[in-house]
Structure 1
């Protein structure tokens, strides 16, 4: 019997001091069990985060987007977490696990933890969460995370047994994903978690004024110790420029997803700290593979040749990594040989293919979310496609509507991103490109039997070296088929006013505010 026992150790990640050269600082009273006592001198322990989009929802079961996840990760918790510095998977709500065989996961849970509504966190809550997550009637958009799970059993109050129909090499990575957060069964049965979230995390939901702001307050009874911040506000603003202006006037304390056109403004402000970290996100132009001529490989090849991605990444001023690979350099399963694949910038070749096939005879619908990074990509691509004879009509829409329309296939071309919260290549390729997920997370509607088989193999072996081999093969096949044109792999960014200390920014682009304080 293989048995692994982990101890959860809180390791402060002092990013801000590293960026500014100032003295290192952590929330007052911080220790391995949390920040007991709360407060940090006389500073106002509130924080306002600004985003250009409102969250579509606040339930980990019913959402699948980064805007929602930023709130969810403060309110809810998972059984396991990925250490932001080492990349290793560590227990969070779990205490330990063991594998009596390749298809069985016996997970011991931490005791004496309560949800925000006062109900107990236990094995029954885990069972309820995962069974609800997998219920076809609930139609959880990220149900693919636990697709191999066959049953969830309660062995005793604090032991849950998960059985899979095949070995699942990415199980711990899946259980560290924010969409696998454990919810209060009572709250889910009696209310609407999308409107009123109830988890075990360091912050509790207070209010949501749609289109304006979401307010959280500290969970004074948090099992790791009381947070230092008393209140967190998620503010919806029209643009990143507006958010920066609000930072300069003291209305906003924190933004993320900073784009290249704003870095010089931020770096020139001595009261704002800019954090950068090479990360796991991938951003790409996607084709609707169920429509003509997007389902024609020659069309996709022509458009891939038409876009100067080298110049595009150079314009990001260090906030993007150029790569032909779908699986990025910071993701498990990346193989450097993938950089020799794909389609290089060759506008003459693009024009030739377009002319030979008559692809320039119609106008294409490009759907774009109203977020600065996607708008920038779309405008550059639109101009370059025009130069080779492809006419594109751009429609820019609000984030939640964008997610609905792309899920329904109401586009020809679009720009998408995947933060890859698990940091695992299987959990990039399976949800986004496997046939199982057509109509949900597979928004480009790619379907290839050979690719599907390789991805399944990467998920159904626990031999990590074999997993890498399968992922490299699947990745190479997808690059050749080009349902995506990878624009860049992310350098995750955040900007905070200099009074904010202790922000933990993960390579996945996620962050948690538990150890944040104000000075």
Structure 2
């Protein structure tokens, strides 16, 4: 090998090294010029949520359970939406609304929006959805949301008019409910949207392997800015302890409805955040108001005085709020101080009423669904009522049997709850305590014409200030009459990886993944 060849090889090596150096500088400079959001976008934007059970279906018209609505909220949208921080109702698919008279709601829709199947969102789609929700043949579980609506008329392509039989104050709350979400008429006619959902939302349905998972992907043609998350997976994990282990190992990034007894374990996990805030749910002890001695106000007062709700709430590790108002602080219709008319814990007073009215030794059966929270309530209340002189036993039933038994009034005292998804007091008091709903959702079979009148006035009024006053009056009346003894107002809760950003749980327990990203 001669000297010229060696010099040539050296030169080639130097040139190659210089080229590599220049490329490295260019690459580093390029990265330095990118925004943090652009770099974040390069990371895999996906989230897996652990669901304790599978969805019942994926059609907002045909379902009415929280598991299903967790999914449908990401795929479909409503005309109005509740702000998760303030619970203020704001337009979403609607642009605005007007009440030319108290029985008319004229709703202007946003233009240029398409369903995931490419068909247009318009007034015809809204009318179709609401007609289906009201259709007796379809038997939608939440048809009651639009029960007061007498007619639905398309005024032009983007204006729909709802006429009610009477003024309907909770209309906007009803139209923000997940079961009033707008579906694609074409998809509903041509396919089964309970299995293959088609909405206008930020995520598009991809697959459902029943019993295992549901997968959604980002809607690249969304009418607002596209979501950051590319993929959303709802993983079915029946055991909460298993879900917590998966959260710890990173197999899932998000769980909610945290069990109070496992909360210390969850809060001890590294790289996991816990979110807790006041919710709209109420849990209560209810009397059968058609049976003796529960028809006697003195007996109900004795029970109310004899129960120390704090003994139950203190076991919840911060996942419950003590407030004896039927309408909770996060529900429209609550006025501070309403709880002051309730019967506070006073064991001696309770004993005195029991003895003076001949109820000492009275045999009572507490019916409880076979769920941890209700069983815990029953055990605490059994002990406390025994202390004031009653002979109390507990009967437990599995969930479906319990619901059927309680609905028929085959109980003495029982424990129940109401999620308050609309966060409107009328939609708490009417279905649960109005005499019209006995044999349906009024399990305690409470009937009070004066109370009924106040609740009707709260519903049949579009003046929200007047509605607030009527609801407060009705609430105070029911607290004093004591068909329920409130055990606690629920706290919404979630635990999620610290890599998850932008997650916010609404007081009604619902959440959207639209503003969520991974960092």
TM-score category, normalised to shorter length: 0.7 to 0.9
Please, which runs of 5 or more residues in structure 2 have no aligned partner?
1-34
Counterpart in 2 of 1:41? 42
Q: Which of structures 1 and 2 has the larger relative contact order (alpha carbons within 8 angstroms, sep 6+)?
A: 1
Q: TM-score normalized by structure 1? A: 0.83
SS in 1 for 2:316: coil
Q: TM-score normalized by structure 2? A: 0.83
Q: Structure 1: how far apart are the matches of 2:443 and 2:336? A: 26
Q: Structure 1: how far apart are the matches of 2:469 and 2:185? A: 40
Alpha-carbon spacing, 1:215–1:473, altered in 2? closer, same or farther (3 Å): same
Counterpart in 1 of 2:89? 89
Q: Displacement of 1:68 after TM fit? A: 2.8
Q: Structure 2: how far apart are the matches of 1:190 and 1:288? A: 47
Counterpart in 2 of 1:341? 341
Counterpart in 1 of 2:469? 469
SS in 2 for 1:331: coil
Counterpart in 2 of 1:5? none
Counterpart in 1 of 2:417? 417
Counterpart in 2 of 1:143? 143
Counterpart in 2 of 1:272? 272
Counterpart in 2 of 1:106? 106
Counterpart in 2 of 1:18? none
Q: Structure 2: how far apart are the matches of 1:384 and 1:191? A: 55
SS in 2 for 1:270: coil
Q: Structure 2: how far apart are the matches of 1:386 and 1:237? A: 39
Tell me, yes or no, if the aligned pair for 2:247 and 2:253 is still in contact at 8 Å: yes
Counterpart in 1 of 2:312? 312
Tell me, yes or no, if the aligned pair for 2:359 and 2:390 is still in contact at 8 Å: no
Tell me, yes or no, if the aligned pair for 2:366 and 2:392 is still in contact at 8 Å: no
Residues 400-459 of structure 1, C-alpha deviations (whole Å, 9 max, x = no match): 776666556565544333332332222222232223333444344333222111011112
Counterpart in 2 of 1:433? 433
Counterpart in 1 of 2:13? none
Counterpart in 2 of 1:152? 152
Residues 221-262 of structure 1, C-alpha deviations (whole Å, 9 max, x = no match): 322233222332333434433322221122322111224333
Alpha-carbon spacing, 1:310–1:168, altered in 2? closer, same or farther (3 Å): same
Tell me, yes or no, if the aligned pair for 2:378 and 2:394 is still in contact at 8 Å: no
Counterpart in 1 of 2:398? 397
The count of aligned residue pairs is 483
Counterpart in 2 of 1:367? 368
Counterparts of 1:275-354 in structure 2, within 5 Å, are 275-289=275-289, 297-350=297-350
Alpha-carbon spacing, 1:403–1:486, altered in 2? closer, same or farther (3 Å): same
SS in 1 for 2:49: strand
Q: Displacement of 1:160 after TM fit? A: 0.2
After the TM superposition, which of the residue ranges 212-221 and 67-76 deviates more from structure 2?
Answer: 212-221
Q: Displacement of 1:107 after TM fit? A: 0.7
After the TM superposition, which of the residue ranges 414-423 and 97-106 deviates more from structure 2?
Answer: 414-423
After the TM superposition, which of the residue ranges 151-160 and 264-273 deviates more from structure 2?
Answer: 264-273
Q: Displacement of 1:208 after TM fit? A: 4.0
SS in 2 for 1:86: coil
Counterpart in 1 of 2:198? 198
Tell me, yes or no, if the aligned pair for 1:51 and 1:255 is still in contact at 8 Å: yes
Q: Structure 2: how far apart are the matches of 1:405 and 1:27? A: 58
Counterpart in 2 of 1:75? 75
Counterpart in 2 of 1:217? 217
- Structure number, greater radius of gyration: 2
After the TM superposition, which of the residue ranges 48-57 and 330-339 deviates more from structure 2?
Answer: 48-57
Tell me, yes or no, if the aligned pair for 1:279 and 1:492 is still in contact at 8 Å: yes
Q: Structure 2: how far apart are the matches of 1:186 and 1:118? A: 10
Counterpart in 1 of 2:125? 125
Counterpart in 1 of 2:30? none
Structure with bigger helix share is: 2
Q: Displacement of 1:286 after TM fit? A: 3.1
